[in-house]
Structure 1
């Protein structure tokens, strides 16, 4: 009964959060100065007739005949039908097609880098916390230092050393110029080669937070009575580390990891700018500069829903690993 009540409360909370986020997603761009049609006409002065401009305003729902609330209702109807509109800055291409092109690049690169960073950082943090006071503690200030370095400089240094200097990796783009995208070994090899350097910079930049967080939780958990009792029983150190200490210390990390996974879809804008990598972050920046409402709303919608789904999965994992959560929430 407590379990059902827990999931019912969380479901209601996330449904309300999704409604609020989608509502803000609709109204916020319309409160900005200007509109996509005006920006488009400014870039194409003299090449668009008044009749064509009016047709574009009607197509994008910017004509004055419809009230804002009516546009809001139409937006929900189109969204449920899978129609996110057409991107004015991308030649009236459907928003879903534009996002579907950029999304795999972001998920593939940033997703893998985030998962690697979490696994490596959490494992190292558990070992450092278990061996607190040893030489392993040197990992904390070293990794923290790299986390404080602005990513812009880290990316440029990585390009200067490993791309320009040593020539180990390409300096930019997701694959070689002139290469035809496909599932050929050549294309896949180029994608891996081009993505290795930006992925490594993401891992190094985010490793310090995972190590420090897990190390501090391990130090706290090791003082708990159940860990002391497990050690007093003569259990192997490896079992005490994995089954008792690390299992409980990792719980707060899961929530942070879920948020990190959710924001993967948003991309790493600075990384995409430094490495000229095609992704959602750069696409969102271009849509904002062009005041492309449909594309902005589509990107925000995908990011919002991804964050919500990631949090739901984190709640489920948290409830499975720690039954006390279900009892407290219920």
Structure 2
């Protein structure tokens, strides 16, 4: 209970600090969303409409900064993140909600696959250290050093332009109406294969190398030697004793990766023109759409916090020493 309370207090304070910084950061930047919006619509907005826009964006000059901060919290707790003027004054929550599923579906699936494959392969390589399987490590490490955009361009040149197996861009065919149908699902899988393959190959080396090194370290521990001396089956020693403890550092890295899924992989989404949160963030930055930027930063920050909470709980379940140290 003490472990849970300590962690809850820590993450509650972190969330408050992130939300507070998210409130003050746009107000510390040069200009404001209303001024940027007026520059694009010169002479077409009346003074009364300008005052309404400032109230809409929480920049009412008649209110103090503290009152604006309280209003921001009230809107935030009601699920209102403001209006995006680069998207026709559409609610920021709707704009983000339209992009997040694409990022989670693509980057999330690629992250889980690379973590599962990398951890399993790295564990087996570490278990059989000194065998021919060690040759996989330098190959996977080489691909992990190749930039995402370069690997994506190569994938497009080979599998799309030359072979014509997969589309080169977008999440589905142009003119197609999104919906729950087998035809649309097939288009999504076909369009998402190359970006997902790029992410998996690019991140696989890190998971393999990390798990292999931890396995080699764990295999020299006394509890593994005792388990082997008892005559336990090698598979049981591998899974219950070696891999379980070696995967603990991997779990923390995986939690961080899950948190940044919401932010998407910006370069990959640009190369493949994929309609994810990363590309949306770049568009918002280019258009100086502060409310949309603010909403995206908040969602990404909270996603990282939630992922870390899940990692802490899982870490405490797998390793009781964590709870004892906290106590």
TM more than 0.5: yes
The aligned residue for residue 268 of structure 1 is 265
Match of 2:317 in 1: 320
Partner in structure 2 of residue 232 of structure 1: 229
Across the two proteins, how many residue pairs are aligned to each other?
327
Preserved CA contact (<8 Å) 1:173 1:277: yes
Compare relative contact order (CA 8 Å, sep 6+) and give the higher one, 1 or 2: 1
Residues 118 and 204 in structure 2, CA contact (< 8 A), matched pair in contact too? yes
The one of 93, 117, 125 aligned to 1:120:
117
User: Equivalent residue of 1:175, what SS?
Assistant: coil
Q: CA RMSD in A?
A: 1.1
Asked if 2 retains the 8 angstrom alpha-carbon contact of 1:34 and 1:291, the reply is: no
Q: 1:18 aligns with which of 5, 15, 18?
A: 15
Structure 2 residues without counterparts, runs of 5 or longer: none
Q: Does 1:57 align with 2:54?
A: yes
Q: Which residue of 1 aligns with 2:45?
A: 48
Once the two structures are superposed, residues 35-74 of structure 1 have per-residue CA deviations (whole angstroms, 9 ceiling, x without a partner) of 1122222223333334433321222122322222221111
Q: CA offsets per residue over residues 64-104 of structure 1, 9 Å max, x none?
A: 22222221111001111111111111111111111111110
Q: TM-score when scaled to structure 1?
A: 0.96
Query: 2: distance between equivalents of 1:153 and 1:32?
Result: 34
Aligned to 1:67: 64
Q: Distance in 1 between matches of 2:251 and 2:282?
A: 29
User: In 2, distance between residues paired with 1:120 and 1:18?
Assistant: 32
Q: Does the 8 A contact of 2:96 with 2:277 survive in 1?
A: yes
The 2-side partners of 1:230 and 1:236 are apart by: 9
**Residues 1:294 and 2:291 are matched in the alignment:** yes
Q: TM-score, normalised by structure 2?
A: 0.97
Whether the aligned pair in 1 keeps the contact of 2:58 and 2:72 (CA below 8 Å) is: no
The alpha carbon displacement at 1:10 in A equals: 0.5
Give the 3-state SS of the residue equivalent to 1:243 in structure 2: helix
Q: Tell me, yes or no, if the aligned pair for 2:58 and 2:71 is still in contact at 8 Å.
A: no
- Listed as ranges, the gaps of 5+ residues in structure 1 are none
SS of match in other structure, 1:89: helix
